[in-house]
């Protein structure tokens, strides 16, 4: 059984104070929820305030699920002269448990390559962070019939040289680039199809048991009104949510 994971990617939104007020409204809405693993990925400056707010709100009479906190990016080196960067060890020392690797906005605007993401993935796993590796084709690649080729290449290069036994915590997010922030969503069948391609390819690379246990999330304009049909596909093990995760009521509805 794969535990569904619903993650919020807040991108470059929310100050620490705004993140705290989100939690104030959000936590009561998910009180007692156990079905999904819930992960919030705020900006770097809001990580510590979010962790503190979650801890501070814990109350035996009002149990909320353990809310996990993830970063949106990290550097592959343990430390060093990399001005402006943050390492996996720093995140983990803060109490961060997850990290998004290779979001298409990082690939597109910051030139992140599959080879760079391979180093980040290895470093995250080394520090026992749960990496959420994002893959996905552009609209043009889909129209040219290259979806499977792109997904296989992105996955293959990202996990290259990493011992299969170490990959177990990894989560993959299938995020078609044409569906991110556009309001266009892959149909549940299109998404399930792509997830199956990913799982089949992972099985070929590192074996069936790892592929069967791998959680594959869908991301791309997930909203409260399309979440149920997407998440009811057996191949879809959760969602990575951008825009609709910024509002506590809408993110809670997706989780419910």
User: What are residue 35's phi and psi, to 5 degrees?
Assistant: -65, -40
- In terms of CB distance, is 64 or 103 closer to ligand PEP? 103
Output the smallest distance, CB 72 to ligand PEP, in A: 9
- Which residue in 19, 222, 236, 252 binds ligand PEP (CB under 6 A)? 222
236-255 residues in contact with ligand PEP (CB under 6 A) are 240-244
Identify whether the C-beta of residue 245 lies closer than 8 Å to the C-beta of residue 221: no
Give dist(CA 256, CA 252) in Å, integer: 6
C-alpha dihedral (43, 46, 47, 51), degrees to nearest 10: -150
Give dist(CA 6, CA 38) in Å, integer: 5
Q: Does 131 bind ligand PEP (CB under 6 A)?
A: no
Question: Burial, 126: exposed, middle or buried (Cβ in 10 Å; 0-12, 13-18, 19+)?
Answer: middle
DSSP 169: T
- In terms of CB distance, is 87 or 221 closer to ligand PEP? 221
Active-site positions read 103, 175
Output the smallest distance, CB 152 to ligand PEP, in A: 21
Q: Does 191 bind ligand PEP (CB under 6 A)?
A: no
Identify whether the C-beta of residue 73 lies closer than 8 Å to the C-beta of residue 99: yes
7-66 residues in contact with ligand PEP (CB under 6 A) are 9
Q: Does 118 bind ligand PEP (CB under 6 A)?
A: no
Q: Does 181 bind ligand PEP (CB under 6 A)?
A: yes
Residue ranges that bind ligand PEP, judged by CB under 6 A: 9, 175, 180-181, 219-222, 240-244
């Amino acid at each position: 059984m794969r535990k569904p994971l619903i993650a919020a990617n807040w991108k470059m939104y929310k100050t620490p104070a705004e993140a705290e007020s989100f939690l104030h409204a959000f936590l009561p809405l998910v009180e007692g929820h156990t079905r999904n693993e819930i992960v919030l990925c705020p900006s770097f400056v809001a990580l510590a305030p979010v962790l503190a707010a979650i801890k501070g709100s814990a109350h035996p009479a009002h149990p909320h699920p353990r809310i996990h906190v993830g970063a949106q990016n990290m550097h592959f080196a343990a430390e060093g002269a990399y001005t402006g960067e943050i390492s996996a060890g720093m995140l983990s020392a803060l109490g961060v448990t997850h990290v998004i690797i290779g979001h298409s906005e990082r690939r597109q605007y910051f030139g992140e390559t599959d080879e760079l993401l391979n180093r980040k993935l290895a470093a995250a796993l080394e520090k026992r962070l749960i990496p959420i590796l994002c893959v996905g084709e552009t609209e043009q690649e889909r129209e040219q019939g290259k979806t499977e080729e792109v997904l296989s290449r992105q996955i293959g290069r990202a996990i290259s040289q990493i011992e299969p036994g170490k990959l177990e915590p990894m989560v993959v997010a299938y995020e078609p680039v044409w569906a991110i922030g556009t309001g266009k969503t892959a149909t549940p069948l299109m998404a399930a199809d792509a997830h199956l391609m990913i799982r089949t390819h992972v099985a070929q690379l590192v074996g069936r048991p790892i592929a069967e246990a791998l959680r594959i999330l869908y991301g791309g304009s997930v909203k409260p009104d399309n979440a149920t049909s997407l998440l009811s596909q057996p191949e879809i093990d959760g969602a990575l949510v951008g825009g609709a995760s910024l509002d506590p009521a809408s993110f809670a509805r997706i989780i419910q």
